[in-house]
């Protein structure tokens, strides 16, 4: 089965039912109107506040773009890159690429001009489709993009070097192109998050994409009555693969452009969302706004909201306990995955296991897991080792990088680089990233453990722990702490709080600053090391 089959099935069974909605609160009207009423209001100065698309329109747009690409010489196996903010056009464009047999290459919208060029070259992209937010960045490197044969632009104010996606696709056939697609055919290239260096190009097949659909729908039991609220960037595997549950079930999804707490709650209320996937910082912001009295739950309707789940980074148990106090009726779930394992779900907690909050769970649907030593041998229960996973969603390879592929893929197993342990009930707990472990005086320190502890402090909004070089100990643990608004917490207060930790785990340097996270919520540890090691903030630490 091919993933485009799901779309074509929905277009036939539910042609007039809404598949996708885009809500853009930044474009809200001056006068007080309902969000649905605003979908009918045209305003050149502010744009659209709410747009929607039926399943038939979705499939038609995908077919038109596929046929447009074919007229430009795109063939099976060619690469077509997408550089767009989340929008209603994003998914039809993605599926249009897949229908040609070409390989879809979603791009991180935070990339600089040089990073855009690097990734386009790495993936050997022939066609790029982009939005107005990226025109200036592309123009900076345009003369160096000789391999790009076609540029398509989504929106108004088209630059001279690109063609209009909106206008040209209208003249193309709405019938699906006759391209033979097989499960083992290459389908998409996703880029690693770059938290450990330059992004790698991760190649997945159609089999991977379909496995993600089946895993997601199995884990969260989406039906046609569900409404999924999608907030994270669609270029990342996580957001899109969670939406795959909506694709399988033929249910509606809402793309929210913005992450302000009031926008999230208003959209859940107005669109009657039943499933919401959030990142840790957004959960924190929502709870903080409620606790400060800035948002009142009585102003919204959450009758159908049944599930809140989190992924993409370790989840502090204290945060979920806070959420459950505010939203006691919500089911909670967490999913673990990597772009190399087609996003979420290779390890899965399950809503029935809330008593195990803090664990990432057990092997997900269709997946196997193990925890191994440096020698690749299984460790004993309770011992730490590297988490490895195996299943139909494992990447084919790092594109054009056999050396890196061989380091991470061994006998069908994907070596995640995450240090984990398993408890007596078979639940897996993340300890830390292998590359983030701090070795101080011969002792291994796992930053995630300290970060989780620090976030239990009522005045700490976020925390990151990194290793800084030290002449005597090799490394010391430094805590970058982002305080909540109006906090008066001092370094002395933090040090006193950390007395509850074992002596060797206590941070030896406290830095009050913001904690940078990438668009998928992961702490940007390399950036922090560059900032603080580069500034020589490390002072000689005294030892007890």
Note whether 108 and 152 are same-domain residues: yes
Q: Give the DSSP H or E segment for 497.
A: helix 491-497
**pLDDT per position as a tens digit, 44-59:** 223 468 999 999 999 9
For residue 465, is pLDDT > 80?
Answer: yes
* Residue that is last in its domain, among 433, 459, 481: 433
Dist. CA 25–CA 21, nearest whole Å: 13
Residue 372: which region, alpha, beta or left (left: phi > 0; alpha: psi -120 to 50)? beta
Last residue of a domain, one of 433, 451, 476: 433
Q: Which residues is 476 bridged to in the sheet? A: 468
Q: What is the pLDDT of residue 441?
A: 61
Judgement on whether residues 350 and 461 belong to the same structural domain of the protein: no
The CATH number linked to 428 is 2.30.38.10
From 402, 433, 464, the end of a domain falls on 433
Contact between 119 and 107 (Cβ < 8 Å): yes
The tens digit of pLDDT for each residue in 187-197 reads 999 998 654 45
Q: Is 168 exposed, middle or buried (0-12, 13-18, 19+ CB in 10 A)?
A: middle
Query: Count of CB atoms within 10 A of residue 462's CB?
Result: 21
Confidence band of 236 (pLDDT split at 50, 70, 90) = confident
Domain count, the chain: 3
Mean pLDDT, residues 486-492 taken together? 92
Any domain includes 226: no
- Give the per-residue pLDDT at 489: 93
Check whether residue 364 and residue 462 sit in a common domain: no
Of 472 and 340, the structure prediction assigns the larger pLDDT to 340
Checking 459-464 for CB contacts under 8 A at 24+ apart, the result is: 459/483, 459/484, 459/487, 459/488, 459/489, 459/493, 460/484, 460/489, 461/284, 461/288, 462/281, 462/284, 462/514, 462/515, 462/517, 463/515, 464/515, 464/523, 464/525, 464/528
Extended beta strands in 436-512, E state:
438-440, 443-445, 460-470, 474-483, 509-512
Q: What range defines the domain where residue 161 resides?
A: 3-29+42-216
Write down the pLDDT at residue 536: 40
Which two three-digit tokens encode residue 284?
């924190």
Give pLDDT tens digits for 271-325: 999 999 988 778 988 999 999 999 999 999 999 999 999 876 667 788 899 999 9
Evaluate whether 364 touches 346 at the Cβ level (below 8 Å).
yes
Residue 516 sits in a domain whose CATH number is: 3.30.300.30
Regarding whether 15 and 76 lie in a shared domain, the answer is yes
| Same-domain pairing of 164 and 49 | yes
Please report the pLDDT score of residue 435 as a whole number: 74
Residue 248 φ/ψ, nearest 5 degrees:
-65, -40
pLDDT higher than threshold 70 for residue 251: yes
Share of the chain above pLDDT 90, in %: 67
In this structure, the answer to whether residues 416 and 453 fall within a common structural domain is: no
Decide if 291 is inside a domain.
Answer: no
Q: What long-range pairs does 407-415 form, CB within 8 A, spacing at least 24? A: 408/340, 410/376, 413/370, 413/388, 413/389, 414/338, 414/340, 414/341, 414/388, 414/389, 414/390, 415/386, 415/388
Q: What is d(CA 369, CA 362) in angstroms, rounded to the nearest whole number?
A: 8
Q: State the sign of the Cα–Cα–Cα–Cα dihedral 295, 300, 302, 303.
A: positive
Output the pLDDT for position 196: 44
Same domain, 205 and 66: yes
The answer to whether residue 32 scores a pLDDT higher than 50 is no
Q: Is 364 within 8 Å of 348 (Cβ atoms)?
A: yes
The answer to the question of residue 254 being in a domain is no
What is the tens place of the pLDDT at every residue in 345-366?
Answer: 899 999 999 899 889 999 999 9
8 A C-beta contact, residue 68 and residue 127? no
| Pair 189, 54 in one domain | yes
Of the listed ranges 90-104, 145-159, 196-210, 221-235, the least confidently predicted one is 196-210
**Residue 7 belongs to a domain:** yes
For residue 493, which phi and psi values (nearest 5 degrees)? -65, -40
471 pLDDT tier (thresholds 50, 70, 90): low
Q: Are residues 202 and 163 in the same domain?
A: yes
Average pLDDT for 468-492: 86
Residue 235 above 80 pLDDT?
Answer: yes
Mean per-residue pLDDT over the chain, rounded = 88
pLDDT tens figures, 403-438: 999 999 999 999 998 889 999 999 999 876 667 778
pLDDT of 38 higher than 50: no
Model pLDDT, residue 195? 42
Q: Taking the CB of residue 15, how many other CB atoms lie within 10 A of it?
A: 15
Distance CA 173, CA 170 (A): 8
Please name the residue that has the structure tokens 């390879």: 397
Q: Are residues 521 and 312 in contact, defined by beta-carbon separation less than 8 angstroms?
A: yes
**pTM score, whole prediction:** 0.82
At residue 519, the pLDDT reads: 67
Task: Enumerate residues 6+ apart whose C-beta is below 8 A from 130.
Answer: 82, 83, 84, 138, 151, 152, 153, 154, 162
- Co-location of 73 and 167 in the same domain: yes
Tell me, yes or no, whether 517 lies in a domain. yes
> Per the domain annotation, does 398 fall within a domain?
yes
Exposure class string for 503-538: b at 16+ Cβ within 10 A, else e: ebbbbbbbbeeebbbbbbbbbbbebbbebbeeeeeb
Q: Do 367 and 380 belong together in one domain?
A: yes
The answer to whether residue 233 sits within a structural domain is: no
Cα distance between residue 518 and residue 119, in whole Å: 17
Terminal alpha carbon distance of the chain? 62
Q: Kindly state whether residues 167 and 25 are assigned to the same domain.
A: yes
270 located within any domain: no
Q: CATH number, domain at 99?
A: 3.40.50.12780
Beta bridge partners of 205: 186
Taking each continuous run of H as one helix and of E as one strand, the counts in the chain are 16, 27
Q: How far apart are CA 195 and CA 518, in angstroms?
A: 8
């Amino acid at each position: 089965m091919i993933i485009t089959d799901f779309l074509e099935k929905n277009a036939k069974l539910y042609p007039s039912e809404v598949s996708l909605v885009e809500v853009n609160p930044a474009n809200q009207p001056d006068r007080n109107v309902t969000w649905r009423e605003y979908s009918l209001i045209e305003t050149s100065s502010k744009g659209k506040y709410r747009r929607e698309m039926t399943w038939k329109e979705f499939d038609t747009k995908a077919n038109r773009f596929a046929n447009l690409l074919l007229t430009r010489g795109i063939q099976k196996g060619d690469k077509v890159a997408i550089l767009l903010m989340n929008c209603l056009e994003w998914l039809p464009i993605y599926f249009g690429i897949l229908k040609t047999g070409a390989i879809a290459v979603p791009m991180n919208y935070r990339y600089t001009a040089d990073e855009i060029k690097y990734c386009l070259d790495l993936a050997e992209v022939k066609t790029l489709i982009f939005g107005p937010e990226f025109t200036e960045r592309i123009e900076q490197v345009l003369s160096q993009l000789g391999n790009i044969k076609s540029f398509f632009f989504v929106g108004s104010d088209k630059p001279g070097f690109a063609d209009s996606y909106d206008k040209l696709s209208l003249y193309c056939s709405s019938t699906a192109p006759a391209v033979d697609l097989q499960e083992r055919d290459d389908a998409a290239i996703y880029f690693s998050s770059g938290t450990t260096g330059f992004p790698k190009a991760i190649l997945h097949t159609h089999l991977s994409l379909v496995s993600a659909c089946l895993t997601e729908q199995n884990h969260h039991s989406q039906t046609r009555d569900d409404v999924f609220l999608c907030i994270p960037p669609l270029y990342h595997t996580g957001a899109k693969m969670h939406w795959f549950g909506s694709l399988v079930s033929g249910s509606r999804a809402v793309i929210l452009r913005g992450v302000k707490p009031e926008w999230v709650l208003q959209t859940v209320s107005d669109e009657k969302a039943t499933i919401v996937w959030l990142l840790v910082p957004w959960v924190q912001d929502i709870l903080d706004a409620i606790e400060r009295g800035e948002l009142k739950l009585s102003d919204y309707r959450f009758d159908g909201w049944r599930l809140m789940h989190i992924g993409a980074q370790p989840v502090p148990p204290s945060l979920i306990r806070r959420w459950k106090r505010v939203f006691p009726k919500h089911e909670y779930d967490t999913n673990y995955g990597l772009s190399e394992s087609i996003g979420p779900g290779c390890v899965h907690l399950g809503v029935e296991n809330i008593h195990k909050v803090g664990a990432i769970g057990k092997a997900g649907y269709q997946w196997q897991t193990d925890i191994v030593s440096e020698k690749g041998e299984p460790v004993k229960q309770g011992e730490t080792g590297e988490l490895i996973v195996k299943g139909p969603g494992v990447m084919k390879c790092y594109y054009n990088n056999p050396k890196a592929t061989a380091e991470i893929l061994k006998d069908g197993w994907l070596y995640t680089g995450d240090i984990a342990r398993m408890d007596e009930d078979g639940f897996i707990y993340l300890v830390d990233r292998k590359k983030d472990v701090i070795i101080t005086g011969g002792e291994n320190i796992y930053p995630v453990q300290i970060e989780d502890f620090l976030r239990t402090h009522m005045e700490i909004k976020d925390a990151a722990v990194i290793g800084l070089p030290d002449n005597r100990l090799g490394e010391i643990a430094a805590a970058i702490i982002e305080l909540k608004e109006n906090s008066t917490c001092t370094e002395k207060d933090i040090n006193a709080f950390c007395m509850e930790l074992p002596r060797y785990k206590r941070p030896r340097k406290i830095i009050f600053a913001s904690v940078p996270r990438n668009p998928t919520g992961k702490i940007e540890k390399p950036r922090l090391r560059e900032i603080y090691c580069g500034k020589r903030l490390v002072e000689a630490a005294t030892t007890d």
